[in-house]
Chain A
Amino acid sequence: MVSQHGILLAVAIISDHFGPLVSKVCRCLLRHGALPLQEIVRRLELSPGQVKNSLLVLIQHNCVQAFNAPRGNGDKTVTHYLAIFDNIVHRQRFSKFLSIIRADIPESEALLEGLLQNGRLTFGQLVERTISKVPEGSITPAREEIRMNFNKLVFAHYVERCPKPEPFFDPLVDEQSTSSRKRAPKTVEIALSIDKKVVNTAALSDAERFSEIPYIMEDASNANDSPRSSISGAKRKHNALEGDAELDSTIAENEVLWRANFEKFTFCLKKKFCADRKKPKLKVGTHPIWEAFFEASLMERDNNSVTSPINGIMERLGQKEGGTSMTLDHITRVLEELNCSPSSEDPDSFILDLSRIVEASRNEEIESLVRKKYGQEAFTIFRLLVRERGPVETDKIIDTTILDKQIVHGTLYKLWKDDYIDTERILSGTGTGNTQYFVWRVKNTFREQFIDNLCHAALNLRQMVNYIAELLLEGSKDDTKLRNRKNILILALTRHDDSLMLFQDF
């Protein structure tokens, strides 16, 4: 499932963040799948204490999910530990996640930073951290203010309650009867990997996952000041309600663990990517409508589409230059030209399927690389093979592309040698002798190969950043040049990660 260089990339990230010992355990889990503690100890020849501490670190940072699996035929169960590749690679995107919060809910950025740095925290721990981080001389924020900012994150689904610590999961049972919720659409038969099944089993229901911390009822003397207070009833009833709410709040504050919801951040980046990707192709007058559509999007129901009400779009347009002069008919027509169709559930909303943009962007990236690497003729031939999907005969390639025969032969050979395309010889027997054809098609695994190359490049960029950081530590006369090079590499790594997300997460 995870490519070879993907594993190396994940191990490099863990090694940079947590040290070599934790990365050893992580590598073992990534290479061999879910393992019990004793098996990890046996394979790595480390002490049980070392492995246990490493696993605790990985679990704390949401890189490993534990689950109980049956042992043999008896009723006994043993705890297995499963590395979650996606969550590991997300670690190099934390700065992007913070940028999203800075733009959406800037007052909650410090809270998210705490969760990203520490993996999972209770609300109480988060409050203590926030207070301790306040620079001296500044006003210490009130607990209620922190709670309000935190609940904004939960309401927007940026933060979620942690999944079950050790759910029961039997890999041999295909029915997933223990799964509390399925994320994949039921109509789509996707063969879920064991990793996905474990994650689904551990996941909480949406209502539980995003339930906020309840507010404490104010005292009678302050009832009028609180916006959530209602008219006080009998004192006895009031005290009873206050007691229950206080108990729930205490539990939510001190026992429930919270963490960042990577799915939400990934979807935000996906929307931003699709919006930015299509923008250069738009006509000048349609930019504001395109932007307004994405800004007005509602809470998403699935990860493949964006839905925006027409009223929200018009409201956003009113704040943009030239937006007030646009009529409803004009906006509607432009949205339809941009492949935003009226939603079947809500006639007043427009829905856009992101899958087509993602698919087109993926093809463009690979085709563009083929052009850079092999030239324009290879670009043309490769696009023809991608579009045809099936085998294409040599002569048909020559005729369709109107290219010289020798150029076509040479190009096909280069693409074939580097595993972009496959060839097959077909013998056609006739009465007058044998005729043989060569047919060509894109290699089935060229996308997996491309993803592995993406991980390989990301790994190399990380290694170069670390290499230059070491040179800087040694103290060189060319500090300025080295720092410039390091910045170039970090910027390249950040942009390269967009491609990695495009192929792995979107």
Chain B
Amino acid sequence: MPPRKRPPPPAKAPEAPPETKPKISPPAKPIAAAPPPPKAVLSDTVLAALSQHERPIYKLVFAGGDKGMSQTEIRIKTGMPTSTLTKHLRGLTSKGVLKVVNSVHKRAEKIYMDVRIDPSPEITGGTWYRNGQLDSDAVASARRRCLDQIDKLGVATAESIHEGISRECSNLAYSTEQVRDILRTMALDREVEEVRSTGAGEFGDLRAGRVCYRRGGPVQGGMMERIPCGVCPRIDECSPDGVISPSTCVYYKKWLQMDF
């Protein structure tokens, strides 16, 4: 059996990005998204002002709701030529009926949406994104506040951490779900440790089985990361009698010198 070919490496900036964004669960619930008005009422009022070519375009975009619809998708569904579609979309935008939204995951894609609908977190990226860019400062600030609460409480649930942050910084509008997201990321980073309450001892105030967070310990690595071989970029070419060998290794020489 011939060896299976390795799949091609993923392109960092694909020239032909996927036409439709994959559906994934939003990291946080939408913040008071305005409910869309009744379709019949909207159709009667707005559709009357549109030309016969603009009307099906608007219906398609409206059907997309808070996820919108990309230009490519509209073209495929309506069957219009690109130049015609572009002209009509520009007209709809200038009339104030539609707006253009950029997706954080596919910046090359133009997504059209009804002006009165707020984009879903799937498009904007949620709370941690601002103008399509990840707001690193907001994330770092949220992590710091969560860690402060954990240091005060010792062992804490997401609810108690959220309660503490809300009490101390009433101007911040974190939701419990957002706090949970931050805590999950911090657990991945090993900054905090995710444990389950036993209902006794230091978990005495918490019901048994609840997910809790506490200060994480340091990651204990082995000797591999402290000798040159562990992080060597040439380890695959190293052999006892080869051109690259322990006896001729520059990393070993550097490592042994450093200890004097």
Interface set, chain A 406-465, CB cutoff 8 A to B: 406, 409-410, 412-413, 416-417, 423-425, 428, 430, 432-438, 453-454, 456-457, 459-461, 463-464
B10 touches A502 (CB 8 A): no
* Contact flag A336-B200 (CB < 8 Å), given A365-B224, A369-B230, A380-B185: yes
**CB neighbours of A401 from chain B (8 A):** 185, 188
Residue on A nearest B20 in the bound complex, by CB: A435
Tell which of B225, B246, B249, B252 has the most Cβ of chain A within 10 Å: B246
**CB neighbours of B259 from chain A (8 A):** 484-485, 488
Interface check A337, CB cutoff 8 A: yes
Residue on B nearest A503 in the bound complex, by CB: B222
Residue on B nearest A334 in the bound complex, by CB: B201
Say how far B71's CB is from chain A's closest CB, in angstroms.
12
Interface check A376, CB cutoff 8 A: yes
B227 touches A409 (CB 8 A): no
A496 touches B200 (CB 8 A): no
Interface check B159, CB cutoff 8 A: no
* Contact flag A380-B104 (CB < 8 Å), given A369-B230, A432-B76: no
Q: Per-position contact with A for B223-253: 1 when CB-CB < 8 Å, else 0?
A: 1111101110001001010000111010010
B227 touches A457 (CB 8 A): yes
Tell which of B198, B227, B238 has the most Cβ of chain A within 10 Å: B227
B22 touches A395 (CB 8 A): yes
Known A368-B221, A403-B134, A496-B227; 20 more pairs at CB < 8 Å: A280-B220, A281-B217, A365-B221, A367-B219, A368-B222, A369-B225, A372-B221, A373-B225, A373-B231, A380-B185, A402-B185, A405-B134, A409-B12, A412-B10, A413-B9, A413-B10, A432-B76, A460-B238, A495-B223, A499-B224
Contact of B24 among A393, A428, A485 (CB under 8 A): A393
Q: Per-position contact with A for B10-21: 1 when CB-CB < 8 Å, else 0?
A: 101000001110
Interface check A361, CB cutoff 8 A: yes
* Contact flag A402-B134 (CB < 8 Å), given A333-B200, A432-B76, A434-B19: yes
**CB neighbours of B202 from chain A (8 A):** 337
A409 touches B10 (CB 8 A): yes
Interface check A399, CB cutoff 8 A: yes
Residues of B in contact, count (CB < 8 Å): 57
* Contact flag A395-B10 (CB < 8 Å), given A361-B220, A376-B189: no
Say how far A356's CB is from chain B's closest CB, in angstroms.
13
Within the assembled complex, what's the spacing in Å between the Cα atoms of A435 and B18? 5
A399 touches B27 (CB 8 A): yes
Say how far B137's CB is from chain A's closest CB, in angstroms.
13
29 example contacts (A-B, Cβ-Cβ < 8 A) are as follows A280-B218, A361-B220, A367-B219, A369-B221, A369-B225, A369-B230, A372-B221, A373-B225, A376-B189, A395-B105, A399-B24, A400-B188, A402-B27, A405-B105, A410-B12, A416-B9, A425-B7, A425-B10, A433-B19, A435-B19, A435-B20, A456-B229, A457-B223, A460-B238, A460-B252, A461-B227, A464-B246, A495-B223, A496-B222
Q: Per-position contact with B for A359-398: 1 when CB-CB < 8 Å, else 0?
A: 0010011011101110010011001100100000111101
A453 touches B200 (CB 8 A): no
Interface check B163, CB cutoff 8 A: no
Residue on B nearest A450 in the bound complex, by CB: B224
**CB neighbours of B169 from chain A (8 A):** none
Within the assembled complex, what's the spacing in Å between the Cα atoms of A399 and B128? 10
Residue on A nearest B220 in the bound complex, by CB: A364
Closest 8 CB pairs of A and B: A368-B221, A499-B222, A457-B229, A496-B223, A460-B246, A372-B225, A365-B222, A495-B223
A432 touches B20 (CB 8 A): yes
Interface check B72, CB cutoff 8 A: yes
**CB neighbours of A406 from chain B (8 A):** 12
Tell which of B189, B220, B223, B259 has the most Cβ of chain A within 10 Å: B223
Interface set, chain B 52-69, CB cutoff 8 A to A: none
Residue on A nearest B217 in the bound complex, by CB: A281
Residue on B nearest A413 in the bound complex, by CB: B9
Tell which of B7, B217, B220 has the most Cβ of chain A within 10 Å: B220
Interface set, chain A 474-506, CB cutoff 8 A to B: 481, 484-485, 488-489, 492, 495-496, 498-499, 502
Contact of B10 among A12, A403, A438, A457 (CB under 8 A): A438
Residue on A nearest B219 in the bound complex, by CB: A368
Say how far A218's CB is from chain B's closest CB, in angstroms.
54
Within the assembled complex, what's the spacing in Å between the Cα atoms of A293 and B219? 24
**CB neighbours of B139 from chain A (8 A):** 402
Interface check A143, CB cutoff 8 A: no
Within the assembled complex, what's the spacing in Å between the Cα atoms of A277 and B218? 11
A424 touches B246 (CB 8 A): no
**CB neighbours of B7 from chain A (8 A):** 423-425
Within the assembled complex, what's the spacing in Å between the Cα atoms of A467 and B122? 59
Interface set, chain A 328-347, CB cutoff 8 A to B: 333-334, 336-337
Residue on A nearest B240 in the bound complex, by CB: A463
Residue on A nearest B11 in the bound complex, by CB: A409
**CB neighbours of B182 from chain A (8 A):** 402
Interface check B73, CB cutoff 8 A: yes
**CB neighbours of B224 from chain A (8 A):** 365, 369, 453-454, 457, 496, 499
**CB neighbours of B260 from chain A (8 A):** 481, 484
Interface check B181, CB cutoff 8 A: yes
Interface check A35, CB cutoff 8 A: no
**CB neighbours of B221 from chain A (8 A):** 364-365, 368-369, 371-372
Residue on B nearest A360 in the bound complex, by CB: B220
Interface check B110, CB cutoff 8 A: no
A464 touches B220 (CB 8 A): no
Within the assembled complex, what's the spacing in Å between the Cα atoms of A454 and B22? 40
Say how far B253's CB is from chain A's closest CB, in angstroms.
10
**CB neighbours of B226 from chain A (8 A):** 492
A464 touches B247 (CB 8 A): yes
A457 touches B105 (CB 8 A): no
Interface check B184, CB cutoff 8 A: yes
* Contact flag A398-B12 (CB < 8 Å), given A484-B260, A496-B222: no
Interface set, chain B 188-202, CB cutoff 8 A to A: 188-190, 198, 200-202
Interface check A8, CB cutoff 8 A: yes
Residue on B nearest A282 in the bound complex, by CB: B217
**CB neighbours of A436 from chain B (8 A):** 18
Interface check B48, CB cutoff 8 A: no
Interface check A404, CB cutoff 8 A: yes
Say how far B67's CB is from chain A's closest CB, in angstroms.
14
Tell which of B9, B10, B12, B134 has the most Cβ of chain A within 10 Å: B10
